[in-house]
A and B are shown apart, each in its own frame.
Chain A
């Protein structure tokens, strides 16, 4: 064997190393630019005019069910309508919390999407992170005002002089009742419970009539409490419920109202009148209990309206193949008579708190991308889209004129879901105080977990309400301290 051949092996080695390296490094999604930070940067709405070719806008969201199907369909329609902007919608995680965490993780390196559809509770965090544009600047630059939008919603998202997201998807809570159960218990099916006491009375009667074992089913979630506090004008945190100019330093929810709710839950569970369900990701036990007619009433977001209607109409795709759903199918859902009413409250019904999400434009990305994002949002805010997002996606109209279009009016008058959503919309316009629509908390997610755990411990593990509330307050206070501490 020729000795000089052995010198070939070293380069051959290097070559194979390089080949492996090259083969495995192909294809990367690239860097989407660094976050520019800074105070309230101006909104470059005109940048799109000078752009040639297609600008890609990445949108992060976490919505499920019929609303997700509608979002994706609408994005496709927007993309198909022209070639200047292409929106790529990416779902992140399986809950709003996971979406926010993924967003948080991406902040340091600037791999942020162009638009993030974040839960309304994330507003303060997004503002503090310095990674979102104040959409007010875009409205101003484009010569538009926010008068045509729901005042309560605009105020909900306004702080530091302007509105932050460019558009919002709104929901609030409704009480859903099984009217047949009310009939069988000798109650008037058109009268929904208004207060906690009402609920108990009706539940006792339904149970006594042998209709079901646990007439009330509720998801042990934080908004059970939030909604009551907001509805009765009690702040959840100090500093003007978070909207003040100072620092938000402590939770103020350990009030009599909160204790009353916790104790009511404890007593109802103990008396076998309430079936509590876990507030884990994607858990729809409360909804299924209604569908399977194992329970007679529950609270659920208005966004479930079209899902419920689809299901009753025979479209099972929105719920899937769960056993209860299938068994309800056997029972003939044409007999399932569901009614909706303003959400019952401590001492009055309709204590609504605004929920939902906002479409925030982030500061990462080029001016052209930001302008493209604004173009998409402007399109989204136009009447046809607002009508569609309401009628198909079940979110309440952000653009007030959408509510008076013939399409929406017909929807409200002639369909089951429309009927439900009209109640929700009236709740929004009549019962929500435009100047007191909820709290603005930085570590909102941690407050929610604390509250949810407290409720869960009382409902599932028999914990003492007062102790549970105190612990929730302590955890929230700690979260707030840590959060403020980290704003350096």
Chain B
């Protein structure tokens, strides 16, 4: 056995555990999703029959999936821009040499410690229609179908603050001081400095963050599960919520198709990020 062969065998052995897990819990399920999407099970889940690609077209073009996409898309629009702006705001505010700034930095990053479940319970304290501190605020009331999603989104915006802050702060701190000083010497005021110099320099960081936040929003489930149970009148039933609640045999085919739809959306979003980021890297600085 040559050294090369031994090295290759060793490599495969080292990759094997990961590959087994990936095959079993990532790739096989993808195949199985397509397979399930082509079949329909009976009510008791004891028999399956072929329905073909028409199930894909029926579901992906149907009301339920469209609602799911609309609600999830709205959720993205509610959480991403606001989350980004607030994160930048916090990072810019805390990126300075003041005494005790570390304390503020710690506070601003603290929401990283909260899980979705904890954040949802915390916002339950604030938004619950019966006992909530802000229960009388109509703009994000959880009991009105038109506004409930906003309340749910608020919990995500708050939860994401920590992560957004940490990442943007790191990005700001990576901006060399000379660049800033040069701009000051050129007579740029602080606001202009921010928009003309700082912001472009951290744009890769911001783009990365946009993708992360979008992916989080696409996967939203726990917030609806804990705060509203999908209601009122189904107005907070995100795509993942719908998929989760399609696990019973009769609905598995439909759920599988929706999951494939979600996969496609995630793929497109990630590819878009990859292309934009690559282009930026080539054109920028």
Contact = CB atoms under 8 A, between A and B. Distances in A.
A pairs with B: yes
Interface of A: 17, 37, 94-95, 101, 104-105, 107-108, 125, 128-131, 278, 280-283, 285, 288, 321-324, 442, 453, 456-457, 460-461, 482-483, 486-488
Nearest to B247: A105
Contacts of B43: 104, 125, 128-129, 442, 483, 486-487
Interface string B97-134: 00000000000000000000000000000000111000
A104 B143 contact: no
Interface residues of B, number: 27
B228 interface: yes
A211 to B, nearest CB: 23
B44 A460 contact: no
Interface-centre pick from A125, A285, A486 (highest chain B CB count, 10 A): A486
- Which secondary structure characterizes the binding site on chain B? loop
Contacts of B231: 278, 280-281
A482 B232 CA distance: 25
Interface stretch (B45-53, B88-96, B165-173): B45-53
A37 B248 CA distance: 18
Nearest to A282: B229
Contacts, number: 82
Given A285-B130, A453-B233, A37 B46 contact: yes
B226 to A, nearest CB: 10
A442 B42 CA distance: 13
B229 A322 contact: no
Contacts of A488: 42, 47, 49
A398 B11 CA distance: 69
A128 B250 CA distance: 13
A94 B228 CA distance: 11
B63 to A, nearest CB: 10
Given A278-B231, A281-B231, A324-B130, A460 B145 contact: yes
B130 A129 contact: no
Interface string B242-284: 0001011110000000000000000000000000000000000
B229 A130 contact: no
Interface-centre pick from B17, B41, B49, B249 (highest chain A CB count, 10 A): B249
Nearest to A461: B145
B234 interface: yes
29 contacts: A37-B46, A94-B229, A95-B229, A101-B245, A101-B247, A101-B248, A104-B250, A105-B248, A107-B44, A107-B46, A108-B41, A108-B249, A129-B44, A278-B143, A278-B232, A278-B233, A280-B231, A283-B143, A322-B131, A323-B130, A453-B233, A453-B234, A456-B232, A457-B233, A460-B233, A461-B145, A486-B43, A486-B250, A488-B42
A288 B49 CA distance: 49
B156 interface: no
Interface string B7-30: 000000000010000000000000
Contacts of B42: 486-488
B155 interface: no
B40 interface: yes
B215 to A, nearest CB: 27
Contact of A486 (B41, B129, B145, B228): B41
A167 B44 CA distance: 24
Contacts of A322: 130-131
A224 to B, nearest CB: 16
B17 A108 contact: no
A488 B42 CA distance: 6
Nearest to A104: B248
Contacts of B234: 453
Given A321-B131, A486-B40, 5 more contacts: A95-B229, A108-B45, A108-B46, A131-B44, A488-B42
A104 B231 CA distance: 21
B192 to A, nearest CB: 48
A17 B40 contact: no
A129 B248 CA distance: 12
Nearest to A109: B45
Contacts of A281: 229, 231
Contact of A323 (B40, B131, B145, B249): B131
A280 B49 contact: no
A132 to B, nearest CB: 11
What are the 5 A-B residue pairs with the smallest beta carbon separation, nearest first? A108-B45, A104-B248, A280-B231, A129-B44, A322-B130
Interface in B199-250: 228-229, 231-234, 245, 247-250
Given A104-B248, A288-B130, A280 B45 contact: no
Nearest to A325: B130
Given A288-B130, A487-B43, A456 B229 contact: no
Nearest to B254: A482
B129 A285 contact: yes
A17 B130 CA distance: 51
A285 B249 CA distance: 34
B38 to A, nearest CB: 16
Interface-centre pick from B41, B44, B228, B232 (highest chain A CB count, 10 A): B44
A288 B143 CA distance: 15
A296 B226 CA distance: 32
A176 to B, nearest CB: 19
A453 B149 CA distance: 17
Contact of B17 (A17, A129, A130, A460): A17
Contacts of A37: 44, 46
Contacts of A460: 144-145, 233
Contacts of B131: 321-323
